[in-house]
Chain A
Amino acid sequence: MKKNRKYSIFTIILALSLFVGFGWNSSLISASNTGDKTTNNQEEDVFRVGMEAGYPPFNWTQMDKSNGAVPIDGTKEYAGGYDVEIAKIIAKSLGKKLVIVKTEWDGLVPALTSGKIDAIIAGMSPTKERKETIDFTDIYYKSNLIMVVKNGSKYENATSIKDFSGAKITAQLNTFHYNVIDQIKGVNKQIAMDNFTAMRVALQSGMIDGYVSERPEGVSASRANKDFVMVEFKDGFKTSEEDTAVSVGVAKNSPLTGKINEALAGVSEKDREKIMDDAITNQPGTGKTTILTIIKDNGPMFLRGAGMTLLISMTGTVLGFAIGLLVGLVRTIPTPSKRSKKVIKNIVNGLLAAYIEFFRGTPMIVQAMVIYYGSAIAFDIQMNRLAAAIFIVSINTGAYMSEIIRGGIVSVDKGQFEAAQAVGMNHFQTMKNVILPQVIRNILPATGNEFVINIKDTSVLNVISVTELFFQTKTVAGTNFNYFKSFFVACVLYFVMTFTVTRILRYIERKLDGPDNYIMMANQMQVEKIPSLEDK
């Protein structure tokens, strides 16, 4: 089936976790890999299933519970599709309540091994590589490879892969789809793309002539957007069963495997076809899509995404600012004269410098993976996604803000320090009453910058399935196949957020600065008689 991705990101997590020096040991891994351990973390009567909810007709996100859709955990949205129907059958046979956990594709396997979900039902193929980390049940769907091309192009009526000689063809990165392109003689193989979104946009814009996909995805694409046509082959690609089959992923040695197989055995070949046909018919976004209909259908989803983005970036900026203030303050303490204190100061400064260098020197997207999945795999800590997101943004902003604040403190006129010292203030009194208020005013533009950057950069948190604006837009686009229009809406929303924030901060700056001239007013405050110095 789709997606034979290797565990590139999973491997990065492992390597980085070791690098960072997590207390790693084999018993810990095996502990979190066993099924009974994971079920201990969850309520016993719940069956938690991970899927992207953005890969129709297998799984998608919709706004209501029509056509038997199931609520997505932690959101107000619903998941529907072939995978959801299969999950319902399995949950019923297990006698447990079905919970759908919306998870990014790259996050599915880590989520399973770290016990955040009980099973992956997401159109996943049971490949050898995956079998090294997780177990698979029996097959629950089998599909053929097809080619999606542009409507009206010369490849529209192709019947054999030979017809694609000389065509610009690509497929999704790290999938077997990409490997089979080599079977076309004389093909102009393009660089693999990260996701279907990118390939569909590339196809629409004429950058490529076609991409390799599977039948359900092809049917959906051509139904949703008239620009796309699916080419089915009489003389097609040679594939192995492990590629075209789809089965349920479960934790190694999970007691669930047998029970799920029993449940799947009750679904006949005919039932499967029926479920798949229904899924293809029911999948959203088959009508005419305009920007207005996208907003109308998905308005709440966009707004919730924007709200989440704003919440994370604002909390992250505020907490990061606090961290930065603290670190900046400690780093500018004057060197004490006592030797023992000097050593302590040097150690603390060293640690703080290491913190700043590490978080400034690594991408936030990698930190997100390490912290969210790494903590679960290495330490068995199940972090709340939102908490993890805020944590990551905060410590990141903190690292940048520390340097901004340190620079701000250094740039305050030396006379201000001296005047404060001359009235007898100690370091912290000086900082609190005189220096920091000026620093904060001076670094306000830089802080605004960080806030704006955070609004935009929270989009990388979609890798840990935080339902911020980018993640929501991907879901919307994944179901209506209108990438330009969907992302245009997101684009406008991002701009509105950043522009508003910049304006507000500029207003605060002006307010803080006050006028340059003092208009002397009659002084109402001090009317009582003040004794002169001579009376003293």
Chain B
Amino acid sequence: MRAVIVGCGRVGAGLAERLAREGHDVTVIDTNTEAFTRLEPDFPGQAIRADGTDEDVLRRLGTDKADWFFALTEGDNRNAFAAQMANESFGVKNVVAKINDPVRAEAYTMLGLATICRTRLLVDALARNVGLDPDPGASGVRQAERHHDHVAEVAATAADAATDKADR
């Protein structure tokens, strides 16, 4: 399988290593070459210094042929943006965005993105560790609750609601 990973932080580098060791075709992108020192010297994939939110860059790196796309930079917005671009502009089916702000993660799950929220994962793990009930929404990657085609629908509903609001 072909994977594109944006952001070569600890998570991005770790995932890139694992996928590449399993024989997958991995491209990891970061704007900072220093980040690539997190990869093993014999990393079997490609490490590219570029801006992973730039459509031209993603096209050049063959994102349209990717099976998996992971947006794992330190910026929630960059991740939400890159992931939506992979999904909408390049038609990648399996896209995950790391969004650490739980409110934004929730919102994007509703807007059709699969998300992983470090904050919620850690809070849940720690809470369970001291015997609290698990948070069912916290575990692993949260799959999108709506397909992106419904975004327009949501927008239309929002516009209707706004008209109602204005009418009142």
Q: Do A and B come from one complex?
A: no
What is B's interface to A at a CB cutoff of 8 Å? Answer: none
What is A's interface to B at a CB cutoff of 8 Å? Answer: none
